[in-house]
Amino acid sequence: MSLKEGKQLPALPQRPRRTVAVADLSPSAVDAWPSSAAFDLISAALGNEAERKDAVKKGGAIFAFTLKNDKNETASWYIDLKETGTVGKGEAPAGKKAGVTLVTSDVAFAQLISGKANAQKLWMSGKLKVKGGVMKALRIEPVLKRAQMKAKL
């Protein structure tokens, strides 16, 4: 069947996708997001005032992370490197919008934080998708490196 004849191709079936409100997660539901602990490490890496100001100066954007677990559920966290240098649950701080959204699996994100995977290689292989400025996404790397250092201590 050709599109020139005015007929449309049938829509492909999509797998159901469930979005989880991370703020409402019970302790048993947190187990579905093993890499959520990585955001605690990132927050700790931005712990002192000097590190936070340096990260905001270099980052200059709000970075959102949308992760998908093995149950096909999604959850989001953000790192505000535009103003406050804080880490939170959701796509962005209240009343703000993320400049860059990184979409990946929970497993790939855990590998990225642990240093077992490289963001550029994940992106090139299609395991990491970037919405927004790809060049701006590179600015998050120093913060992730600090989190890796905290994880190794």
pLDDT in tens, 108-145: 998 888 888 888 899 999 999 999 988 898 899 888 88
SS (H, E, C) 45-107: HCCCHHHHHHHHHHHCCEEEEEEECCCCEEEEEEEECCCCCEEEECCCCCCCCCCEEEEEEHH
The answer to whether 128 and 103 are in contact (CB under 8 A) is yes
pLDDT value for 45 = 87
Which CATH code is given to the segment(s) 34-152? 3.30.1050.10
pLDDT value for 31 = 61
pLDDT value for 152 = 63
pLDDT value for 17 = 41
Looking at per-residue confidence, does 12 or 106 come out higher?
106
Backbone angle region of 19, left / alpha / beta, with phi > 0 → left and psi within -120 to 50 → alpha = beta
What's the mean per-residue pLDDT of the chain? 81
Closest-CA residue to 113 (of 126, 101, 104): 104
Looking at per-residue confidence, does 17 or 64 come out higher?
64
